[in-house]
Amino acid sequence: MTEKSASFSIKNWSQDDQPREKLRDKGKAVISDAELLAILIGSGNRDESVVAFCKRILASVDNNLSELGKLSIKQLSAFKGIGEAKAISIIAALELGRRRRGVDALERKKVTSSKSVFELMQPIIGDLPHEEFWIVYLNNSYKVIQNNQLSKGGITGTLVDVRLALKTALEVGATCIILAHNHPSGTLKPSKADKDLTAKLKIGALSLDINVLDHLIITENAYFSFADEALL
């Protein structure tokens, strides 16, 4: 190892600057995103320390962890020093964080507004590269019983089985449902197909004394509510 590359080794740093030890001794709240990423991948390359390396990786996505989570194994491996194993570790860690957000929201959620539905569903479908259609099933106190993926499609659409959606509502004892799907394009304008499907589900649900409370179109940072726009 050359003198230059040895100087970039974490072992040569002050203990206060070593990410693992810093987390252990000072707690997770004081650890930066770059330092957390450094703990995951363990080492940098011959030209820079692991934390500097991780700062550069984060800078490539404007320090946006959501955007980092969208990178593929191939894209991550394009960084010198990131092989397939490290790329998979990064993807797995960010996916765990995304799933945790969804579970936490589900456990504490009572639906009180369209915003509360957005907060529940955005971590699940908000940044997907393809379209998914989900149903949120509620009891008569508007508390979430469960939320289910009804279909998964491509970039521009997905097919929905109305009968399956209502069958599940009966099985879980839901008295209300909320529809939600994402638009990978980022547009919040509902299509004719979106409106037709909403009407179809509403008619079918009413025949079973189940109320369709809302239909949300969700993107990464915003949403459109059929109920808020008086389209239900």
Q: What is the DSSP string of 104-173?
A: HHHHH-B--SHHHHHHHHHHHHTT-SS-EEEEEEE-TT-BEEEEEEEEE--SS-----HHHHHHHHHHHT
Residues β-bridged to residue 176: 138, 211
**Separation of alpha carbons 58 and 71, rounded Å:** 11
Domain range annotation of the chain? 3-100, 111-225
Give the C-alpha separation, 192 to 12, whole Å. Answer: 62
DSSP string covering 65-92, please? HHHHTT--HHHHHTSTT--HHHHHHHHH
Instruction: Provide the b/e sequence for 172-191 (b: ≥16 CB within 10 Å).
Output: eebbbbbbbbbbbeeeeebe
pLDDT in the model for residue 6: 45
Please state, in angstroms and rounded to a whole number, the distance separating the CA atoms of residues 174 and 168: 8
Q: Are 226 and 196 in contact (CB under 8 A)?
A: no
The C-alpha atoms of residue 160 and residue 23 are separated, in whole angstroms, by: 46
Kindly report the CATH number that applies to the domain delimited by 111-225: 3.40.140.10
How does pLDDT run along the chain (232 residues), one tens digit per residue? 444 444 445 555 544 458 888 888 888 778 888 888 888 887 666 777 788 888 889 999 988 888 888 889 999 999 888 889 888 989 898 888 877 766 655 555 788 899 999 999 999 999 888 999 999 999 999 999 989 998 887 544 567 788 888 999 999 999 999 999 999 989 999 999 999 999 999 999 999 999 999 999 999 899 999 999 999 8
Between CA 165 and CA 151 the distance in angstroms is 10
Give the predicted TM-score (pTM) of the model.
0.58
- Minimal CA–CA distance to 56: which of 74, 80, 72? 80
pLDDT reported for residue 10: 52
CB contact at 8 A, 161 and 150: yes
pLDDT for position 74 = 92
Q: pLDDT per residue over 64-80, tens digit each?
A: 888 888 889 999 999 88
Using alpha carbons only, what angle is made at residue 55 by residues 50 and 59, rounded to the nearest 5 degrees? 150
- What end-to-end distance do the CA atoms of the chain give, in Å? 68
Beta bridge partners of 177: 137, 212
Cβ neighbours of residue 201 closer than 8 Å, sequence gap 6 or more: 160, 162, 165, 166, 177, 179, 212
Are 61 and 34 in contact by the 8 Å Cβ rule? The answer is no
Q: In this structure, are residues 232 and 226 in contact, taking their beta carbons and an 8 Å threshold?
A: yes
Q: Report DSSP state, residue 47.
A: T
